[in-house]
Amino acid sequence: MIPVFYNSDIEVSKKVVKACYDGGVRAFEFTNRGEFAHEVFGELAKYAAKECPEMIMGIGSIVDAPTAALYIQLGANFIVGPLFNPEVAKVANRRLVPYAPGCGSVSEVGFAQEMGCDVCKVFPGDVLGTGFVKGLKAPMPWSNLMVTGGVKPEEANLKGWFDAGVTCVGMGSNLFPSDLMKAGDWAGITKLCSDALAIIKKVRK
């Protein structure tokens, strides 16, 4: 499970990364979604290296190669995008940084795999659904798929995705409810993470 998160406040972001880490999370996707997001990520990557040494920090919402290069310089260990851009694949491959592009069709997944993408992101998950994953895996069983969008930390939801054949899930707002964020209830986020990971362990085949 990869939490998907953005906040313009570096202190809030640090607290969230630490809360996820304490909950057992070992890969975290910060998203490139606001002004100066790269500055926040740079600080966050340094913080994680010190305080959460086993955490793999990645960057999400990357749509072009220059932005990918910028974040690799700032310490991104993997790159995720809402779409597939072959130019991003070139930059990532040159530096041996995994790139998980967003794909909404079987052909896109095929093209991404040709460009060296080991994991493809099924996006938007809530639109494509579990049927898309199942349908794609039948003729292309080697595919490693990560679904983002419409993933909830609930057994029925997670079981549906893993039964369909996903390798991992990306989870955003459902892992960071606004009431917990407003209250600064970091222990609550830690619990949501550890509960979700426990469910995944149970439902994964």
Confidence of residue 205 (pLDDT cuts 50, 70, 90): confident
C-alpha to C-alpha distances, 129 to 26, 146, 177, nearest whole angstrom: 26, 12, 23
* Residue whose C-alpha is closest to residue 168's, from 195, 196, 192, 188: 196
Q: pLDDT tens across 153-183, in order? A: 999 999 999 999 999 999 999 999 999 999 9
Structural domains in the chain, CATH included, are 2-199 (3.20.20.70)
Across residues 125-152, what is the average pLDDT? 97
pLDDT tens, residue by residue, 75-120: 999 999 999 999 999 999 999 999 999 999 999 999 999 999 999 9
pLDDT at 48: 98
